[in-house]
Amino acid sequence: MSAAHAAQRRTAIRTDSFSLASLRTAHSQPVAVTLSRAQMARVRRSAATVDRMIARGNAVYGVNTGFGLLAQTRIPAGQLAALQRNLVLSHSAGVGAYLSDAVVRLVLVLKIGSLAQGFSGIRPQTLLALTRLLETETYPCIPGKGSVGASGDLAPLAHLAAALLGVGQVRCAGRIMPATQGLRRIGLEPLQLAPKEGLALLNGTQVSTALALAGLFALQDVFGAALVTGALSVDALKGSDVPFDDRIHVLRRQPGQRRVARALQRLLAGSRIRASHLTCERVQDPYSLRCQPQVMGACLDLIESAGQTLAREANSVTDNPLVFAADGEVLSGGNFHAEPVAFAADQLALAAAEIGSLSERRTAILIDPKMSGLPAFLVAESGVNSGFMVPQVTAAALVAENKTLAAPASVDSIPTSAGQEDHVSMATHGARRLLEMAANAASVVAIELLAAAQGIEFHRPLTSSRPLETALRKLRRTVPRYDRDRFFAPDIAAAAALVSSGELRELVDL
């Protein structure tokens, strides 16, 4: 299949207004982007404004001056192209494992969207070279470490820009190759950067934002699955749905809490297990069952607040300086400072830690015969069989790890560039940890899913509600009931894949 034909088959997303849904698509699959005539006209006017400023001899930061502490050094006209190339090469100082193709694809989409707004002074051909990388799935190899989140994501974005120069490496269809070879493969020559272009490519919060968005999307799937497993645990433990009564939650005035309570009510509605103990003598359930709306609702509010921040950031122009073609001015500011992204990442980290913490506590109740009324460790003939004893230990270990990872990144700052950049956001590693935290939480919720399903099946022939029985069937497609001890790790992996797939999230009506 030709590259052009493949591009036609990809989902096309607009670059003039990103939604979280379109960004989720860009993260999950190859995409094409659309650039309007109006966008390209703004890009051309912006580049022409830079050319006029140079011709007049105006001092413009990063165009005909040095960078950072060297901002007062004027660069001769004959060295302006070398200035931009040297900037890219010297700033390509990242270390660590390469970012995934999914994250790099999202970085490309965000960078294209920012540059296409016409405030960055780049030429149309430079913007189109980025779209060519995206649409041919030619992803620059970007080391994940080396950014402090101001002035933007300099080191990682330098590696992206270096690929356009034919420097470094790219990944095509999972194969890493020299950037020069990758460019030839898609019909591009190495770029010769014009004034301002290196700075426009390097400056910006696109890497931090892409990493935070990837974490957001993963956490949304885990959150939805955790509501399903939480409802399953309530039914498996013959808990009450009275704590989810809307009359309670309307008094709290917290929107997420009320939505979660309603979602749990809908998940449990029609359960014959619940109907079997309506007149039982138990007065109250443990907090991890009863207070799900309060805890998970607070997590939902945090997740949605962070999502709104990241959606705004995705649609922002965050390089420096900015070119205002209509006014004929170039203004130097600080939109590259990623503090909003750092705060959003810290919010998501808190939510990830709490989702897992609550889920693990329900698993602990399920395996305890004194609390659950179920067989010890959820297995027949316990003693010769250890059942769910150590999976709960695994969940506890992951919860403890996430608590450590949840420490805020945004409160740290280390001055860089000889004190010129004296306060930084630490957004990049604050966002990068989110995928690990979401994966940890997914495994914790997966263990609860396995345990709660086991508990439900001990109540047969009674059945749970329609959505919860659907969740159970989805699990049993790949994981059989745990009748006796077997190699446990594949069960957890399969359940975690189900949690992360979003299939359980689709059962939740929020």
Nearest Cα to Cα of residue 405 among 339, 345, 337, 343: 345
CB atoms within 10 A of CB 373: 12
Helix, strand and coil in the chain, % to nearest 5: 60, 5, 35
Residue 426, phi-psi category: left (phi > 0), alpha (psi -120 to 50), beta (remainder) = left
Helix, strand or coil, per DSSP, at residue 144: strand
Contacts 24+ apart (CB under 8 A), 250-259: 252/294, 254/294, 254/297, 254/298, 254/301, 255/297, 255/301, 256/296, 256/297, 256/298, 256/299, 256/300, 256/301, 256/304, 257/293, 257/294, 257/297, 257/298, 258/293, 258/297, 259/297, 259/300, 259/510
Report CA-CA distances (Å) from 260 to 58, 257, 285, 383: 58, 5, 17, 38
For the chain, the residue count is 510
- 482 carries an active-site annotation: no
Instruction: Indicate which residue of 61, 98, 139, 482 is catalytic.
Output: 61
* Triad 153, 159, 165: Cα angle to 5°: 130
Strand, helix or coil for residue 361: helix
Is the bond into 461 cis (omega within 30 degrees of 0)? Answer: yes
Active site residues: 61
